[in-house]
Amino acid sequence: MIDLDIDMRQYDCPFIDTTDDIDIAFSAVQWQLDTDAAKLETRLIAKADSRGALDDGLRTLREHPNMTNCYILSKRDNVAEIGTKIKETNAMQTIQRNGGYITGPFQIENGRERWHVGFDADEDEDRTLAELERHNDYSVENRDQFGPSTLFDLLENSESATQLLEGCRSLTETERETFEVASRNGYYETPRATTLDELADHFDISKTAVSMNLRRSERKVLQAALGAIDRMEDDDQL
């Protein structure tokens, strides 16, 4: 199996057009492509910077000519869960026609969309990408190729991977940025290539504050990793 991580700009997608005009982002929770009706049905999480921006974004989405149906399932402050039906886009048709398939949820923000697309053969991949270039703007951000044993391992340990992912997502923006900068600058190397004082200067905060941010991020990631390891060991015993 070939798995592509694609940064895509479609020119006939309601979600992309909406995020172009409004400061709102969409993340797919569930989707189903009806090839006979040439429509895609999705459930998504919509998130904006404010309640007003959320309302503006949903109104713009409903009014898009390629939107068939858009309804709110739940809503709180600046976040909503929505259901939609849209006309099949050119990219969807191209991928489906050439034997491709969606392998993961997609995210849309700032007029761009992140797709995860799978193929069984190199020629299917090459043909699809060549056709996508005609009507879409895209770049392949990552490409992986898995054999049957690797795929089995991924599926068997999907719950452990999800637990680790959720631990990473639990980081606040400050914790994540502090953790990333510290790692990138060599804080965890031996010997260390940067110090707490230098990290404090980088973020313009106290040494104590940067230390606390690092400790919180380390604790969350470590707890998630240990939980994932425990789950993997339990699955092995079963």
Rounded to an integer, what distance in angstroms lies between the CA atom of residue 84 and that of residue 186? 45
**Residue 101, pLDDT score:** 85
**Residue 60, pLDDT score:** 95
- Concatenating the DSSP letter of every residue in 113-134 gives EEEEEEESSHHHHHHHHHHHHH
Secondary structure class of 29 (helix, strand, coil): strand
Secondary structure class of 149 (helix, strand, coil): helix
**Residue 130, pLDDT score:** 94
Cβ partners under 8 Å of residue 214, min gap 6: 178, 179, 182, 187, 199
The pTM of the full predicted model, rounded to 2 decimals, is 0.61
The correct CATH number of 157-237 out of 3.40.47.10, 3.40.50.1860, 1.20.140.10, 1.10.10.10 is 1.10.10.10
Parse the chain into domains and list their residue ranges.
2-145, 157-237
Q: Give 139 or 237, the one with higher predicted confidence.
A: 139
The model's pLDDT over 111-130, given as tens digits with 9 standing for 90+, comes to: 999 988 889 899 999 999 99
The model's pLDDT over 62-100, given as tens digits with 9 standing for 90+, comes to: 999 999 999 999 999 999 999 999 988 999 889 989 999
Mean pLDDT along residues 35-40: 76
Rounded to an integer, what distance in angstroms lies between the CA atom of residue 231 and that of residue 159? 8
Cβ partners under 8 Å of residue 67, min gap 6: 14, 61, 84, 85, 86
Task: Encode burial over 217-236: b for 16+ CB neighbours within 10 A, e otherwise.
Answer: beebbeebeeebeebbeeee
**Residue 123, pLDDT score:** 93
**Residue 170, pLDDT score:** 86
The CA-atom distances, in angstroms, between 92 and each of 31, 167, 187 are 12, 32, 44
Rounded to an integer, what distance in angstroms lies between the CA atom of residue 115 and that of residue 13? 13
**Residue 75, pLDDT score:** 94
pLDDT band for position 31 (cuts 50, 70, 90) = confident
| 84 within 8 A of 108, measured Cβ to Cβ | no
Cβ partners under 8 Å of residue 19, min gap 6: 25, 26, 57, 108, 109, 110, 111, 112
pLDDT band for position 32 (cuts 50, 70, 90) = confident
Compute the C-alpha angle 108/112/116, nearest 5°. Answer: 65
Percent of the chain with pLDDT over 90: 59
DSSP-derived letter for residue 105 is -
Please give the sequence-ordered ranges of beta strands (E in DSSP) within the chain, or none if there are none.
2-10, 24-34, 39-48, 67-76, 79-87, 101-102, 107-109, 112-119, 136-145
HSE toward the beta carbon, residue 228, CA cutoff 13 A: 20
Across the chain, which distance is largest between two alpha carbons, in Å? 62
Q: Give 106 or 235, the one with higher predicted confidence.
A: 106
Percent of the chain with pLDDT over 70: 90
pLDDT over 70 (residue 156):
no
